[in-house]
């Protein structure tokens, strides 16, 4: 896509319910994804979907219980890619190509690994969107599972990557395994992004890089993104939506949050801690973990009836006269 086209897109107003951090360059490639639609967060049963965050949750009309990265998260990808223009990048897990499109529009040469790409209709859909956006020539779509396929491609093409985005299988030990192989195959000057850090399983990947000496930081977005970097590179600075009270899960308490401020949730815990401190020997970290887990479970049980009602309604057979 030409710079002129990108500038035209930048002046468009974002849809209501979307947010993009101040200071970011913006693009809006929605027209290249004809099946994109506003999703209903109650269509997903995933425990770590942050349904209380009011940002739009986009899905593909053909599979409405799986979400894309949010508008804000997509712009973290795009603005990060702008810093790596012309360099090799890797994405693990592309779903319908929404995140890959934002990365490619940022100017990187992108390898994408996803087992779903072995399905013809899925591959054609992703390919068509990338062609419409004018970036397919800069994206190599590779069917397969990580971390095995990552290592295979690296050996086949003698490849290392400067920018890596991990958004594949979210169940342990997959995120950690993806991180281990990516850390080995990253350039000396490299940056690795994570999506869905709201899940402790995904958090294991960022923990690993932190222990290996990488610089790390968290972005407060709908699903929480993480970034690790080393060498002569820097992450983008992100300002969270000031209209939202941003809770931080206990597994991320040791991380610096870009643009962070004291949240109402932290203030509430401080009140509870003051009340229970005389009656327990548990550490503050352990108490906060219990508090956060109890709150998350409460919210999930609160949402569950609505999720079940909608699932039943969606699968209810249509009566014909």
- Looking at residue 87, which CATH number applies to its domain? 3.40.50.150
Whether the pTM exceeds 0.95: the reply is: no
- Regarding whether 308 and 247 lie in a shared domain, the answer is no
- Regarding whether 199 and 87 lie in a shared domain, the answer is yes
Supply the pLDDT for residue 285. Answer: 64
- Regarding whether 294 and 156 lie in a shared domain, the answer is no
User: Which residues are bridge partners to 111 per DSSP?
Assistant: 90, 140
Q: Using DSSP, how many helices (H) and how many strands (E) does the chain show?
A: 9, 10
- Regarding whether 304 and 206 lie in a shared domain, the answer is no
Q: How far apart are the C-alpha atoms of 9 and 66, rounded to whole Å?
A: 26
Write out the two tokens for 188.
Answer: 């000396």
Residues of the domain holding 140 = 71-252
Write out the two tokens for 146.
Answer: 């990580």
Supply the pLDDT for residue 315. Answer: 65
**Residue ranges of the chain with per-residue pLDDT less than 70:** 1-12, 260-270, 273, 284-293, 295-304, 306-307, 310-311, 313-321
Asked if residues 186 and 164 have their Cβ atoms less than 8 Å apart, the reply is yes
Block residue for tokens 């229970």: 276
> What are the phi and psi torsion angles at 16 (to 5°)?
-60, 135
- Regarding whether 158 and 239 lie in a shared domain, the answer is yes
Supply the pLDDT for residue 280. Answer: 79
Largest CA distance in the chain: 68
Supply the pLDDT for residue 253. Answer: 86
- Regarding whether 173 and 79 lie in a shared domain, the answer is yes
Tell whether 40 is covered by a domain: no
Write out the two tokens for 79.
Answer: 């603005």
Write out the two tokens for 211.
Answer: 């222990």
- Regarding whether 242 and 277 lie in a shared domain, the answer is no
Tell whether 66 is covered by a domain: no
Tell whether 229 is covered by a domain: yes
Tell whether 276 is covered by a domain: yes
- Regarding whether 98 and 226 lie in a shared domain, the answer is yes
Tell whether 273 is covered by a domain: yes
Q: How far apart are the C-alpha atoms of 105 and 107, rounded to whole Å?
A: 5
Tell whether 65 is covered by a domain: no
């Amino acid at each position: 896509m030409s710079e002129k086209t990108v500038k035209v897109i930048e002046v468009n107003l974002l849809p209501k319910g979307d947010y993009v951090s101040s200071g970011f360059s913006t693009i809006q490639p929605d027209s290249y994804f004809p099946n994109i639609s506003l999703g209903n967060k109650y269509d997903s049963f995933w425990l770590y979907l942050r349904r209380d965050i009011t940002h739009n949750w986009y899905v593909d009309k053909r599979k409405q219980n799986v979400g894309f990265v949010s508008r804000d998260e997509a712009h973290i990808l795009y603005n990060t890619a702008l810093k790596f223009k012309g360099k090799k990048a890797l994405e693990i897990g592309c779903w319908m190509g929404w995140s890959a499109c934002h990365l490619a529009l940022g100017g990187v040469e992108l390898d994408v690994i996803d087992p779903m790409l072995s399905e013809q209709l899925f591959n054609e859909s992703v390919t068509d969107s990338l062609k419409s956006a004018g970036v397919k020539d800069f994206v190599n779509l590779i069917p397969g599972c990580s971390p095995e396929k990552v290592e295979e491609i690296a050996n086949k093409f003698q490849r290392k990557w400067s920018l890596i985005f991990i958004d594949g299988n979210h169940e342990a030990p997959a995120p950690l395994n993806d991180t281990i192989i990516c850390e080995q195959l990253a350039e000396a000057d490299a940056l690795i992004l994570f999506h869905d850090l709201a899940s402790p399983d995904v958090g294991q990947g960022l923990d690993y890089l932190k222990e290996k000496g990488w610089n790390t930081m968290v972005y407060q977005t709908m699903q929480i993104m993480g970034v690790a970097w080393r060498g002569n590179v820097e992450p983008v600075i992100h300002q969270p939506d000031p209209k939202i009270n941003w809770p931080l899960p206990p597994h991320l308490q040791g991380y610096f949050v870009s643009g962070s401020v004291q949240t109402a949730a932290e203030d509430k815990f401080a009140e509870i801690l003051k009340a229970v401190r005389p009656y327990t020997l548990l550490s503050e970290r352990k108490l906060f973990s219990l508090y956060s887990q109890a709150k998350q479970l409460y919210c999930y049980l609160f949402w569950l009836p609505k999720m079940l009602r909608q699932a039943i309604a969606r699968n209810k057979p249509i009566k014909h006269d």
